[in-house]
Amino acid sequence: MKQDVKNKVGLGGLTGLIIGGTIGSGIFALPATLTAGVNPEGILIGWAIVAVGMFSLAGVYRNLTLQQPDIDDGIYGWSKRLFGDLGGFIANYGHGIGDASGTPLT
């Protein structure tokens, strides 16, 4: 069963999902919050800042993955390796709370 799941999403599809989610979350959410009081140049500057930040974050995760390929748990795995089981749990829990509190409930 596990082998079937691994073969369904290839590298290209996974890359497309990550890039689409990264760009979409910043670029499409930003105008909704800024259009009331910012001119178009301000929105373009905001898009540029979001794009640089998201691609930088993706680059950090890419470098961590390349340097430590044996860790396949993402943020939890890296925190667990550095701080132990409790530190990994706290990092994962905090990341989840940050995601939940940053998501609008509309």
- Tell me the pTM: 0.50
Q: Name, in order, each residue with C-beta under 8 angstroms of 65's C-beta and a sequence gap of 6 or more.
A: 71
Nearest in space to 15 (alpha carbons), one of 52, 58, 49: 58
> Comparing 22 with 72, which gets the higher pLDDT?
72
Alpha-carbon distances of 26 from 1, 84, 104, rounded to whole Å: 35, 33, 14
State the pLDDT at residue 9: 61
22-39: pLDDT as tens digits: 666 666 666 666 666 777
Mean pLDDT score, 46-50: 81
- Alpha-carbon gap, residue 29 to 16, rounded angstroms: 19
Alpha-carbon distances of 78 from 34, 43, 52, rounded to whole Å: 35, 35, 23
